[in-house]
Amino acid sequence: MPLLTQQIQDEDDQDSLVASLDNVRNLSTILKHATCFATKNGIKVTVENAKCVQANTLTALRMCYQGYGYPLRLFLEEGGVVTVCKINTQDPEDTLDFDFCSTNVINKIILQSEGLREAFSELDMMSEVLQITMSLDKPYFRLSTFGNAGSSHLDYPKDSDLMEAFHCNQIQVNRYKISLLKPSTKALVLSCKVSIRTDNRGFLSSQYMIRNEDGQICFVEYYCCPDEEVPESES
């Protein structure tokens, strides 16, 4: 069954939203407190963490929502067994608008996730920050941590087989709190490709392309604002 999304205003059951999905496995556990936006292209589920991180997934799910005050109804079907969930809804808080637009993007790379997965799992958790360097010369794309033992740098050259696209306009060095980026590891593990973009403010946008078993594609997108402290030069 293909992805099916509908935005239905007047249905017999008076649901303002009905959507269905074949395989819900891709809806990961990062969705704890989610705000759903139903659009023509699919449902965008937004999760926020301390107003600094935003993760979005475009997916489809059989959800029925009658409107304000009504619970969200989920219908999950597997092998003829149907599970019905009713989730009480809350008033949505305003989601942070990171105001990240493509026109402000300074640097962008697309990497095959295979190269990043282990690196991320081995990131020095003693380091508070992850520093991302994108430069026109070596090291091109560098992830750095600064822990008790010393510093570690992970360099990806622009001509690496893992690098699908490398667009760097100017050198940028930004630091992000590791604790905020760690949740994105889950998406990284599932993904086949990741795109990393930084804008003129140093805001980070990472998009993970996930191909599920049916061959369908969905995306998880993370936004993260840079750590306020000015990066010092480290050995």
Partner 1 sequence: MGKEGFSRWWQSGRTIEQVCEQKQPEGWVCGCPLTTSLSLLFVAQLSLRTVNSSRSAYACFLFAPLFFQQYQAATPGQDLLRCKILMKSFLSVFRSLAMLEKTVEKCCISLNGRSSRLVVQLHCKFGVRKTHNLSFQDCESLQAVFDPASCPHMLRAPARVLGEAVLPFPPALAEVTLGIGRGRRVILRSYHEEEAGSSYSSPTDSTAKAMVTEMCLGEEDFQQLQAQEGVAITFCLKEFRGLLSFAESANLNLSIHFDAPGRPAIFTIKDSLLDGHFVLATLSDTDSHSQDLGSPERHQPVPQLQAHSIPHPDDFANDDIDSYMIAMETTIGNEGSRVLPSISLSPGPQHPESPGLHSEEDEAEPSTVPGTPPPKKFRSLFFGSILAPVRSPQGPSPVLAEDSEGEG
Q: Which residues lie near partner 1 (CB under 8 A)?
A: 115, 118-119, 121-122, 124, 139, 148-157, 159-162, 235
- Name the minimum Å distance from CB 169 to partner 1: 22
- Name the minimum Å distance from CB 180 to partner 1: 22
Q: Which two tokens stand for residue 65?
A: 């929502």
- Name the minimum Å distance from CB 121 to partner 1: 8
**21 touches 61 (CB < 8 A):** yes
Nearer to partner 1, 156 or 223 (CB): 156
Nearer to partner 1, 85 or 149 (CB): 149
DSSP letter for 24, please: G
Distance (Å, whole) CA 71 – CA 85: 9
Q: Which two tokens stand for residue 116?
A: 């990043």
Nearer to partner 1, 96 or 154 (CB): 154
Phi, psi of 118 (to 5 degrees): -70, -35
Residue 86's CB is within 10 A of a number of other CB atoms, namely: 11
Nearer to partner 1, 140 or 219 (CB): 140
Nearer to partner 1, 39 or 151 (CB): 151
Nearer to partner 1, 121 or 169 (CB): 121
User: What single string gives the DSSP state of each residue in 32-80?
Assistant: SSEEEEEETTEEEEEEEETTTEEEEEEE---EEE-STTSPEEEEEEETT
| CA dist 78 → 20, 22, 89 (Å) | 13, 9, 25
- Name the minimum Å distance from CB 21 to partner 1: 34
- Name the minimum Å distance from CB 148 to partner 1: 7
- Name the minimum Å distance from CB 142 to partner 1: 9
127-144: b or e for each residue (b if 16 or more CB lie within 10 Å)? bebbbbbbbeeebbbbbb
